[in-house]
Amino acid sequence: MENLLLQLQRRLFPLLGLLLSFLFVFLSRSSPKVSDRSECSLLPHSHYWIASNRIVTTQGVVSGAVEVKEGKIASVVKGEDWKGDSRTKQIIDYGDAVVMPGLVDVHVHLDDPGRTEWEGFPSGTKAAAAGGITTLIDMPLNSFPSTVSSETLRLKTEAATDNIYVDVGFWGGLVPENAFNATSLEALLSAGALGLKSFMCPSGINDFPMTNASHIKAGLAVLAKYKRPLLVHAEMEQDAQANYLEDGMNNDPRSYSTYLRTRPPSWEEAAIRELLTVSGDTAPGGPAEGAHLHVVHLSDAASSLQLLKEAKGSGHSVTVETCPHYLAFSSEEIEDGDTRFKCSPPIRDAANREILWKAVLEGDIDMLSSDHSPSVPELKLREEGNFLKAWGGISSLQFVLPVTWSHGRKYGVSLEQVALWWSERPAKLSGQESKGSIAVRKQADIVVWEPDVEFFLNEDHPTYLKHPSISAYMGTKLTGKVLATFVRGNLVYGDGKHASAACGATLLSKVPVDV
């Protein structure tokens, strides 16, 4: 009997050890790393109150306090009722500073992995935190490889792990190679992509080619099952042979007007007309009901905007965004050779800017995004100043809140509108139901800022972007200083300092039960 027990021990112990090893590997892969709270937050408490005379809630701006407990909003109390025995509470009183839901930026290029010399998760998310942005949704291109499969999405999430100071989600790419492959698209969406993004013109990135209406129609059919959006860069060359640089005109490549003529408003109009041939599929009862079409960075405030208004009126599930640089700048103001301002679609004239503001204020444009698109300074060709050859993209991530407020004040923009454009609606588009507003049971994603404080954006201003010099906003005076940023209750930025550890979460969509 004793010999039998010894034989069993010899056989079972190695097997038990092997099973324990497999269990350890499984747990280490499936369980997120949890850092010490003192590293994740500048505030050592998990239960505290944020008090202010101006708290932006879904019911308006109120005076009172927000109770934060274990990363979520436990209560929002108006007036003085929250105080009670204040000696037993951890209270941060911000006085007249604005307490608002953290910004959700659905359009950023963080260039990670593969082009971290352009930006990268650490610098990009530090800049976001310093700008009051608590959630970023990263675009599938400008990194390498582009995020067009479940495998390349995994590379993204691995690169982000332990390297992000705010929460980050990911759009997948819709390209010709996967558009008609439902299995490939479903794998990408099942892996957690929050939706898809496509270009209707050359993207400038070799592994992210352009799509047409047939690709988009096929993509919408798959997205309908997952109830997720398709984001579209809506510019389309009408005639590849068209020459917009006519003889007899000033075609100096250092002149912004030269570049502006190469991407006329008709490009946006043509793309949106093409989109509307398939967007009807998203209407109630349509073959792609449940999918949603979102036009990114609208620049043309004329025909393109009118077409989108008509599509919405016809029941198509369509939204549209524009960006602060289209609302802050005009083509007439851009100096020769200042390629920091090159982007696509381009910044248009002052009259167009006024109509864009009107559309934002009246709700015809649904939300704002940064389209933060940096590069290495060399690609901007600042010395040469050639708008036709320089890399396009506006570097802006840290500044979008003060830019929106600074330029919006003359139009009477309210704090509630800023929260609607930058928090509530972008959270809904990206499927982040637990974010976007200050309300009970929502995640405690909060920005605290002083809307009346002016500052100059110069070399002395603390800037966390990898290449601040390429930003078109450098050298400007802005209003609206960010004091503190909370992500899931962690104080990740405050008093000009970041938390010591990057404890942001990667946001991956869950597969619907009926898929």
- Report residue 192 as tokens: 């957690």
As beta bridge partners, residue 477 has 456
The C-alpha torsion from 152 through 153 and 158 to 161, rounded to 10°, is 150
- Report residue 124 as tokens: 């990009």
Q: What is the pLDDT of residue 247?
A: 57
**Closest by Cα among 398, 439, 495, 443 to 92:** 495
Task: Give φ, ψ of 319 to 5 degrees.
Answer: -135, 170
Token look-up 């941060």 returns 92
As beta bridge partners, residue 3 has none
Rg of the chain over all Cα atoms, to the nearest angstrom? 24
Q: What is the pTM of this model?
A: 0.92
SS3 state of residue 448: strand
Output the CA–CA distances (angstroms, integers) from residue 262 to 325, 374, 426, 485, 503, in the order listed: 19, 22, 31, 41, 44
**Closest by Cα among 314, 232, 329 to 271:** 232
pLDDT in tens, the chain (515 residues): 444 434 434 444 333 333 333 333 333 333 344 456 679 999 999 999 999 999 999 999 999 999 999 999 999 999 887 776 655 689 999 999 999 999 999 999 999 999 999 999 999 999 999 999 999 999 999 999 999 999 999 999 999 999 999 999 999 999 999 999 999 999 999 999 999 999 999 999 999 999 999 999 999 999 999 999 999 999 999 875 456 666 556 789 999 999 999 999 999 999 999 999 999 999 999 999 999 999 999 999 999 999 999 999 999 999 999 999 999 999 999 999 999 999 999 999 999 999 999 999 999 999 999 999 999 999 999 999 999 999 999 999 999 999 999 999 999 999 999 999 999 999 999 999 999 999 999 999 999 999 999 999 999 999 999 999 999 999 999 999 999 999 999 999 999 999 999 999 999 999 886 77
Task: Give φ, ψ of 70 to 5 degrees.
Answer: 50, 45
- Report residue 76 as tokens: 């929002």
Cis peptide before 377 (omega within 30 of 0): no
Please count the other Cβ atoms lying within 10 Å of the Cβ belonging to residue 5: 9
SS3 state of residue 272: helix
